[in-house]
Copies of this chain bind each other. A is one copy, B any other.
Amino acid sequence: MTETSIFWKVIESVSDQGRRLIRLGDAGNVRNAPIEVLSRALVSEKGEASGVAVADLFIERYRSLDEDAKLEFFALLRDEFGPDTARLDAALASYRADEESPRGQSDLHYATEPLRQELLRRINAAPGGIAALVGMRADLLDALREHPDLSVVDDDFEHLFRSWFNRGFLVLTRIDWQTPAAILEKIIEYEAVHAIDGWEDLRRRVDAPDRRLYAFFHPALIDIPLIFVEVALTRDNPDSIQEILAEDRKPVPVEEVSTAVFYSISNCQRGLRGVAFGSFLIKQVVDDLRQELDRLNSFVTLSPIPGLRQWLTDQADADDGLFGDQEKAVVSEPALQDLPGLEDADAEVRKSLLALAAHYLVQGKARDGRPADPVARFHLGNGARLDRLNWLADTSVTGLARSFGIMVNYRYVIDEIEANHEAFANQGTIAASSSVRRLLRVQRTVDRTKSRSETTEPSLT
């Protein structure tokens, strides 16, 4: 007997992706119907009767749509698959009669449920349904840019995906050199932070004894990673991504490691935007690593600061007194645009840039009052603290272009995580180490003219 891949057979059978279509009859008279008719059939009794045959037809039909037809379909979902208005009116009347009644509130909630939610649930029943829906959402997100009024449809996708991709249903898997090539090539494809340059580079990241890669999967979508994190086990807090990725480095013996470095986290499915995987992933991996290697006592990231340079440039241009001439000079200094200049930078310049980076991370805010830097937002929101800024830590073209080569370590201290998260979420407090705080003081001296007006400055832990 020949076995293609035992692994895959086991997983497929659990995920049931190989499920054959139930062809009861021929899904009757809707076989060649347009997608609107199929959509209506799917939420009718016919949809229920057909097992999953109509849902299967629907998916096939959707795949054949061009961009315009998809847009039309999304508009249909918005306009024709809202709540049952008669039921809504009745529920509203009851609710008004007694606004305190749990029954009335509940009935109002279910009466306002748009029909498109049921449509999406019925599509999901087909073989490959969840994959089709995740792809459909990606199309919808594209369409949203030009058609923001489709956002009500997106609300329902996001609502259902948050429920279906609940942490309780996810599976954490280590990816290594024993993993099927079909999964490994998706890792190569999806790596978003430090691109993987082919199979040998991948191998260095998954097969070395001091390297790990973990991913979340969903059992109904088992051949597609949802998110993954790359981990280096090191002796110390790392200060250079190039060292971590070096081709010729020698693995650190496992007896000597003390630190787990999360040096890359990549979300894989655009269609799952808004479903938070990252925090659960990091915390689970921290937990697993602690159980496996009891000598690990330090969990840090080595993270990019993607928005730094743009933000500094914007601030310098703004000329609102935030920056003194010295800072402006540094930010726009041509010699600091590339590696030789940065390597030659004197201590003063270096200190100044690091101070500006600290300032950006702690005080740079987006309109919603949360940190301007998206990576900072993520890790601080997870309960990490700002630990250290690293000079010339990413000397790649990208690293120089976005942050003068500076990278940051966020540190996950087990006993601080909850308190940090709560302080951050409730008061906007940003936890930072004393070394980062010292850098802020540098900045403050320089920036003394502004300090009085900074009423929204977050307190520091």
Contact = CB atoms under 8 A, between A and B. Distances in A.
A79 B433 CA distance: 43
Nearest to A13: B3
Interface residues of A, number: 111
Number of copies of this chain that the complex holds: 4
A398 interface: no
A276 to B, nearest CB: 9
B414 A24 contact: yes
A392 interface: no
A283 B109 CA distance: 33
Given A280-B51, A417-B49, A2 B220 contact: no
Contact of A414 (B25, B156, B166, B382): B25
B163 A422 contact: no
Interface string A104-123: 01101110111000000100
A41 B330 CA distance: 47
Given A49-B417, A110-B159, A199-B199, A102 B383 contact: no
Contacts of A110: 155, 159
Interface in A150-195: 151-152, 155-156, 159-160, 162-164, 166-174, 176-182, 184
A384 to B, nearest CB: 11
A270 interface: no
Interface in A256-306: 279-280, 283-284, 286-288, 291
Interface string A1-27: 111111111111111101111111101
B112 A176 contact: no
A168 B181 CA distance: 26
A125 interface: yes
Given A25-B414, A417-B25, A105 B124 contact: no
A143 to B, nearest CB: 15
Interface of A: 1-16, 18-25, 27-28, 45-46, 48-52, 78-79, 82-83, 85, 88, 99, 102-103, 105-106, 108-110, 112-114, 121, 124-126, 129-130, 149, 151-152, 155-156, 159-160, 162-164, 166-174, 176-182, 184, 198-199, 203, 214, 219-220, 222, 279-280, 283-284, 286-288, 291, 382-383, 414-422, 425-426
Given A7-B10, A8-B178, A25-B417, 13 more contacts: A1-B18, A3-B13, A22-B286, A24-B418, A27-B418, A46-B421, A49-B421, A83-B109, A103-B151, A106-B114, A160-B163, A177-B180, A178-B182
